[in-house]
Structure 1
Amino acid sequence: MAIYRPEMGLYRVSDGLELPATSITVSIDGEAAMWQMRADLRGGLSEVEYGTEVEARINGYSWRFVVSTIDDDRSNDGRSVTIGGLSLSARLAAPYATARSVVVGMDALAQQLAAAELEFTGWDIDWRCADWWVPAGAWSYQDLTPLGAISQIARAGGGRVRADRSRLRLVTTPRYPSDPAGWSSSTPDVTVAGRRVIRVTTRWAPKPAYDRAVVMGRTGHGVLVVATRSGAYGANPAPEVVDPLITDVDAGRGRAQEILWSSGDGAISTLRLPLAAAGLVDGALIEPDQLVRVMDTTGPWSGLSGGVQVTGQRDRDGKLTVYQTVEVERRVH
């Protein structure tokens, strides 16, 4: 068994100055594009201000943030500061980025439309979801920031946007990389040994079980896609979706799959487990959107990771405890 000592630090990026953090929590919600941070510091405010870029390091994993909130607490017992931060991608959203209105006047792939939003920003995009042609004049928007526009493009094809933990990169992925009906027989991205799970809580989430999805574009360039579950008759259709960016069958298929694969009874299981040092497989960081197999004492089960939280906390004696909490979406068949 690998032996490691937990590590935690918070650093000002401009000069590498270590900030006196007693606790750090980094997290991302299941549907969010950005990571968030909360850190408790000893001492005053001289080291950070709004907009300062900081890097959190926990057990060899790193995240970069823009400081967005500062709370100063003074009492007879001393002074403490709590800072909050958002992923560097916050600079692509309000209030850092200016909203604008655009009419796209040339043919382009969806991926190219997204990349155009990042022109001259120093950012790039890793496009992993459906890509399709969008004819000139088919899409326009009003009052969107670059991140808002890119999220809208990805959403049209059944995808979503995540910010890289520390690089100037956005990643788009399908909301559901595969049919949940096959999760139990698919090769997982991560396998969690039941002995490592400190606690698991499950919240059941019943939803309508749609067997047909109808999606269509809004303009003369739009297409109509009707998708029905294999072996079903389409007797329980989902509400129709109209999106001006559905201009190709690939976009419509991706959106229809997302609708069908998100329907049906399910559950969210929240796992709390230790976080091992980076490079170790057993206890590695579970990232959002990974297929997770849990070797539970009651039997193995699989699901898709969503919300993730990593916490490092020092007690009064300076002992550091590090753990991760992961929400895993499951299906009930």
Structure 2
Amino acid sequence: MIVIEFYRPRSRSISPIILDFNGTTPPPVEDKEVAAFWDIGYSNNLNFEVLAALQYGNSGSNETVLSLGWANADTLHIDVNQRWYAQPVTSESQTSINWFNKMPTIMYEYVQKWSTGAIEQFETIQIWREASQHETALRIHYGPSERAYICYRVKHPQKGRVIVRFDNALNASPQIGKVKLRVSPYEKVCYWGLPGGPVRSDDDIPPIDSKIPIEPQIQRYYIMQPSISCNRLSDDLKILINNITCTWQRGQFAATGNIKFCSRIDMERAIGQQLKLVINGYEFVVICEQPSTSNRFSSNSYSASIRSRFAELAAPYQRERNYVNTVDKTLAGIMADILENTGWTLDNKMIDYPIPEGAFSYRGLTPAAALLKVASSIGAILDINDTTRTVSVVPEWPVNPWSTEQATPDVILNDALILEHNTRDSIQPEHNVVFVRGEQQGVACKIKRQGTPATDYARDIVDNLITDVQAARQRGTCELARSGNKRTATIRTKLKQDLPPIRPGMLLGVRFEDKLYKATVDSLAISASISNQGAIMVNQTIQAVRNV
């Protein structure tokens, strides 16, 4: 081994030292394997040491030329271009090493090719590049912070070295390949929390309530101009109808209803197709299924059942599937996997949390049923926008029934627009504590209602998606909200420009008999009909639930 030490910075780009092995020393009797390796160490000192170990074969003329350049810099960049050839008469080895400085950011690419034959050739190309362009964007956030994964390094990565050795000769057959060097990422630890330092649990953080409710203006007279239109979504062909009803409920993935056509031809044009309904300016997309006819003396009727557009992800339009998370996922990641390649977009309003590998699985479910299963496991429902093909996962109880007095409703309905108001009470036990736990890879939590002695236990909840405290908290809160005496109000009102459809999951405020009460919408039914004289009637009927 030859050790060459340089104690001063270079004054020329090429070293004047040339090593020649073609002197008086006789070459070896037998051919040797040609091997070359470099172990280059560098630091911020003035001393640089380059170790070069060379072996050469038996040939008529052996010559090795070593050219080295060096410099003192804080950051070093190296380019190495190396070639050598072996022939029965001449073997030559040449190495050229250049050093550059002032490279703040370095990226490394390595490409290696080799082949054998009458002439053996080896090429090594090493390219070092830097990021010369930098972008800086300023973003200012305001309002409450959202939870996220906060990660930090367990051990700061330390500098190391890479040694490439070629110890064996190539086989006789030609070979072409690549050698890839991969550097594993540094080890990290992540936890789910709020940024900005230690923060207490969500219950102790006061909500910022900036919601403005929808409240129609009270008028002496209300002028109604209802309108209904039905078109086939594929080619915009007009379909004549004279009656339609559609119902949305919590706990369902699609609305259901019935549609009545003006003629048999209209029914045949609509069966198996997606229809776009525009009722008082609000668009709905439904799938027309299961036709039925009724023939009487001088009276024939043609109708069919309908479901909302999200039913295209259910039977019979989608086959049943099996699923298991083979890698670590989050709640939103699993729901995104279910909707993958379906054309639908996910809008998750629930608190996300990690799910370990193999913790969740299902068998024999369509995408619509699987997504509903995931949502119900954490106390959520599906809010479908059929026009934009968006699936929102929202809490079943947006506001806990015992906290509605301080909450701002989504819609406030005054008694001037209430056509019918009925109530019905149901008596059931009230619970203030529940045990929620997962399965093999889950957690076990005791969820209690704040400000209660936690003495009335609900039935235990076991679900394989309870893998985090946030999952147990959301599911346990939903179970406690379902308990207790309930009063269900059935309200029939109009569908106006300033009174949109009141969808399930909304918090409804009702001004009735000089009082304002708040309840959670459980179901919505929209009905529209056209009489023989051409009069159009449009109503919406809401069922809202509250504690009593």
Alpha-carbon distance between aligned partners in 2 of 1:29 and 1:156, rounded to the nearest angstrom: 17
Alpha-carbon distance between aligned partners in 2 of 1:30 and 1:206, rounded to the nearest angstrom: 20
- Per-residue deviation, residues 53-72 of structure 1 (Å, max 9, x unmatched): 11111101111111122112
Which residue matches 2:292?
71
Alpha-carbon distance between aligned partners in 2 of 1:40 and 1:50, rounded to the nearest angstrom: 12
- Per-residue deviation, residues 43-88 of structure 1 (Å, max 9, x unmatched): 1145425421111111011111111221122333143211221111
Name the amino acid aligned to 1:27: T
Of 69-78 and 103-112, the range deviating more from structure 2: 69-78
SS class of match (1:166): coil
Which residue matches 1:331?
547
**Do the aligned residues in 2 keep the contact of 1:42 with 1:79 (CA within 8 Å)?**
no
Which residue matches 1:301?
517
Larger Rg: 2
Name the amino acid aligned to 1:311: S
* Alignment partner of 1:122 is 2:343: yes
Shift of 1:317: 1.1
**Do the aligned residues in 2 keep the contact of 1:129 with 1:174 (CA within 8 Å)?**
yes
Which residue matches 1:268?
488
Q: Which runs of 5+ in 2 are unaligned?
A: 1-218
Alpha-carbon distance between aligned partners in 2 of 1:74 and 1:137, rounded to the nearest angstrom: 56
Which residue matches 1:291?
507
Which residue matches 1:15?
235
Aligned positions of 1:1-333 closer than 5 A: 1=219, 3-45=223-265, 47-219=268-440, 221-277=441-497, 280=498, 283-332=499-548
Alpha-carbon distance between aligned partners in 1 of 2:307 and 2:295, rounded to the nearest angstrom: 25
Of 109-118 and 297-306, the range deviating more from structure 2: 297-306
**Do the aligned residues in 2 keep the contact of 1:134 with 1:245 (CA within 8 Å)?**
yes
Alpha-carbon distance between aligned partners in 1 of 2:506 and 2:386, rounded to the nearest angstrom: 15
Q: Which runs of 5+ in 1 are unaligned?
A: none
- Per-residue deviation, residues 253-312 of structure 1 (Å, max 9, x unmatched): 0001001111111111000011113xx2xx332121111100101511110112101111
Which residue matches 2:160?
none
SS class of match (1:48): helix
Name the amino acid aligned to 1:273: T
Shift of 1:165: 3.6
**Do the aligned residues in 1 keep the contact of 2:430 with 2:485 (CA within 8 Å)?**
yes
CA RMSD of aligned residues (A): 1.5
Alpha-carbon distance between aligned partners in 2 of 1:45 and 1:70, rounded to the nearest angstrom: 12
Name the amino acid aligned to 2:425: W
**Do the aligned residues in 1 keep the contact of 2:250 with 2:381 (CA within 8 Å)?**
no
SS class of match (1:204): strand
- Per-residue deviation, residues 98-131 of structure 1 (Å, max 9, x unmatched): 1112221101111110111111111111111231
SS class of match (2:515): coil
Shift of 1:225: 1.2
Of 148-157 and 52-61, the range deviating more from structure 2: 148-157
Alpha-carbon distance between aligned partners in 1 of 2:319 and 2:392, rounded to the nearest angstrom: 21
Which structure has the higher relative contact order (CA within 8 Å, separation 6+)? Answer: 1
Alpha-carbon distance between aligned partners in 2 of 1:238 and 1:217, rounded to the nearest angstrom: 16
Alpha-carbon distance between aligned partners in 2 of 1:226 and 1:31, rounded to the nearest angstrom: 25
SS class of match (2:542): strand
Shift of 1:4: 4.3
SS class of match (2:358): coil
**Do the aligned residues in 1 keep the contact of 2:285 with 2:308 (CA within 8 Å)?**
yes
**Do the aligned residues in 1 keep the contact of 2:250 with 2:396 (CA within 8 Å)?**
no
Query: TM-score with structure 2 length normalisation?
Result: 0.58
Of 144-153 and 191-200, the range deviating more from structure 2: 144-153
SS class of match (1:300): strand
Which residue matches 2:117?
none
Of 138-147 and 38-47, the range deviating more from structure 2: 38-47
**Do the aligned residues in 1 keep the contact of 2:318 with 2:367 (CA within 8 Å)?**
yes
